[in-house]
Amino acid sequence: MDELAHSEIETEPAGQSNRERSLSYVLLLFYLLTLFLRPYDLIPALKVLHLPMVSGALCLVTYMWSRYSSGRPVLPLTPISRMLALMTVWAMLTIPFSFWISGSFTAFWNDWLKMCILFLMLGNVLESARNVQGALWMCIVSATIISSIAIALKVLLGESVAEGRLVSDASGVYSGPNFFSMTLILFLPYVLFFCFLHQKLLIRLFSAFAIAAFTIANMLTESRAGTIGEALVVVLVFWKLRQWGVGLTKTAGVTLLAAILFLPFAPKGLWERFSTLFAGSDVVLDPNSVSGSALGSKRQREELLLQAVILTAQNPIVGVGMNNFPAAAHERFNNSEEEWVGCHDTFLQISSELGIPGFLIYMFLLTAAWKTVRLPGKQMALEDAKLPKNRQFRILSDATVISFTGYVLFSTLAHLGYQPYFFVVAGIAESLRHIYLRSAEPAPAQVPVGTWAVSR
């Protein structure tokens, strides 16, 4: 089989020195390390170094300089970047009308803009399929380490639990059981494909370990959305594997074996939480029990979804402001919770906070991302149905489609609007799109050196 390094897909763009590319790439890897391993949470003394801010800023500066000095567009306009730009402008325009202006501005500056920069870096610094794999492995290894540490603390010491549910000492993308679960689901398709299809045995063995760590951690979070999301991802991966010659008999056998190995780790609380999904309004349970807590959580979510609909109807144009739903709902509906709570649905989060225009832009953004995610695999299938050609690139493309699908599903069950998940998978999809188009088309004429161009 053709190795990816010898394929046309691996071709890198001309006009930029290897040293400049390597520096931007290394800095991006370090930034992903700070985002998904969060060493400063594990070692608090590192917080004074401000590693995410420093590494992210250096990566951005080196990227901009390398693109500018080589005469390449600094801000490439693509379907996703156009929608992100439009969403950014709209979010900025809504700030003066926000329920809590300073909170909206903080969310826009600290969360949204940083995530847009993350997308820009992932979509344009990763200029070969090998780079994409390197970035993914940085995220996967980091998530595997965090999952393993959390499981060990839970099993051995009884630590890292919230109401019996697994959480992590690391914050950020792991803050809370549901966010922890979403992080694992985002990378699960990649390790599943690597486990079944990678040509190196060590990679396949580590992928199997990562799958085990992700699955056990996901079950211990007792996240109903996480369990449903993982089941969907596994089904989609196994269905897609048929095109690679991996039959349903084999995947069914693997599923049975996995169930035998992993189900003993499933906590009783997970099944109790699922048992309350269809409980009627007249059911009364002890609020101090796991079932009672789960039922209370279910009813609270139903109330929050209704409140998001009401806030959308009351503020249809500009919404209540970016990341302002918890504060606005607490004030408007006299919620009894001491802590402000999100609405647990990304679509209603966007509509209530950025209004109907913001919701429509977000839907266009998802549509642009979906088309971008599917482009390489769809085009390559039309050109050549024999999968061994460009094998690793096809694996990345297929896994990204399923990762994005998992994100969209989870979005209906959690508020993820300004979290890194979409920006990571969309950035990976953008980089794969650039790599494929560069290999399929003649190299475009270069822009004169020193031009701050914006192009398609």
> Which of these ranges, 51-55, 208-212, 333-337, has the smallest mean pLDDT?
333-337
pLDDT of residue 254: 85
How far, in Å, CA of 277 to CA of 223, rounded? 12
Region class of 61: left (phi > 0), else alpha (psi between -120 and 50), else beta:
alpha
Residue 333 has pLDDT above 90, yes or no: no
**Whether pLDDT at 193 is above 70:** yes
377 vs 288, higher pLDDT: 377
Q: Please report the pLDDT score of residue 6 as a whole number.
A: 41
Question: What was the pLDDT predicted at 387?
Answer: 41
CA distances from 213 to 10, 97, 147, 148, 181 (A): 31, 45, 6, 6, 12
Q: For residue range 1-36, list pLDDT tens digits in order.
A: 344 444 445 555 554 456 667 888 999 999 999 999
pLDDT tens readout for residues 100-130: 999 999 999 999 999 999 999 999 999 888 9
Q: How far apart are CA 136 and CA 188, in angstroms?
A: 11
Per-residue DSSP letter, 98 = -
Q: Read off the amino acid at residue 213.
A: A
Residue 410's contacts (CB-CB under 8 Å, 6 or more residues apart) are 182, 185, 225, 226, 229, 416, 421
pLDDT of residue 277: 66
Give the C-alpha separation, 119 to 104, whole Å: 21
Considering only CA atoms, which of 188, 172, 183, 260 is closest in space to residue 223?
183
Q: What mean pLDDT is predicted for residues 354-362?
A: 97
pLDDT value of residue 441: 62
> What local confidence, expressed as pLDDT, does residue 337 receive?
55
Of the candidates 59, 63, 62, 58, the residue with the CA atom closest to the CA atom of residue 74: 63
Residue 107 · residue 354 · CB < 8 Å: no
Comparing 9-23, 170-184, 246-260, 371-385, the range with the smallest average pLDDT is 9-23
**Least confident interval from 48-52, 84-88, 333-337, 345-349:** 333-337
Q: How confident is the model at residue 442 (pLDDT cuts 50, 70, 90)?
A: low
Average pLDDT value for residue range 400-422: 94
Would you state the pLDDT for residue 353? 97
Rounded to whole angstroms, the Cα distance separating 397 from 429 reads 8
CB 383 within 8 A of CB 312: no
Q: What angle do CA 392, 17, 428 make, to 5 degrees?
A: 35
Average confidence (pLDDT) over 238-250: 89
Residue type, 159: E
H, E, C per residue of 339-406: CCCCCCCHHHHHHHHHHHHHHHHHHHHHHHHHHHHHHHHHHHHHHCCCCCCCHHHHHHHHHHHHHHHH
d(CA 119, CA 422): 9
Q: What pLDDT sits at residue 164?
A: 62
Please name the residues in contact with 100: beta carbons below 8 A apart, sequence gap of 6 or more. 321, 324, 327, 328
Q: Is the predicted pLDDT of residue 320 greater than 90, yes or no?
A: yes
**What's the whole-model pTM score?**
0.88
Contacts of 161 (CB under 8 A, 6+ apart): 154, 167
Residue carrying structure tokens 């031009």: 451
Of the candidates 452, 449, 433, the residue with the CA atom closest to the CA atom of residue 441 = 433
Contact criterion met (CB below 8 Å) for 88 and 423: no
Structure confidence at residue 455 (pLDDT): 46
Tell me the pLDDT tens digit for each residue of 258-316.
888 888 777 777 777 776 766 655 565 545 555 666 666 777 788 899 999 999 999 99
Out of 81-85, 396-400, 445-449, which region has the weakest mean confidence (pLDDT)? 445-449
Interior angle at CA 52, CA 48 and CA 57, nearest 5: 110
Mean pLDDT of the chain: 84
Handedness of CA 41, 47, 53, 56 (dihedral sign): negative
Residue with token string 């170094």: 49
- In a 3-state reduction of DSSP, which class is residue 161? strand
Check pLDDT > 60 for residue 443: no
**Least confident interval from 172-176, 385-389, 395-399:** 385-389
- Token readout for 419 is 């979290």
Is the predicted pLDDT of residue 210 greater than 70, yes or no?
Answer: yes
* Three-state SS at 304: helix
Instruction: Indicate the SS3 state at residue 162.
Output: strand
What is the SS3 assignment for 439?
helix
Considering only 49-53, 349-353, 439-443, 448-452, which range has the smallest mean pLDDT? 448-452
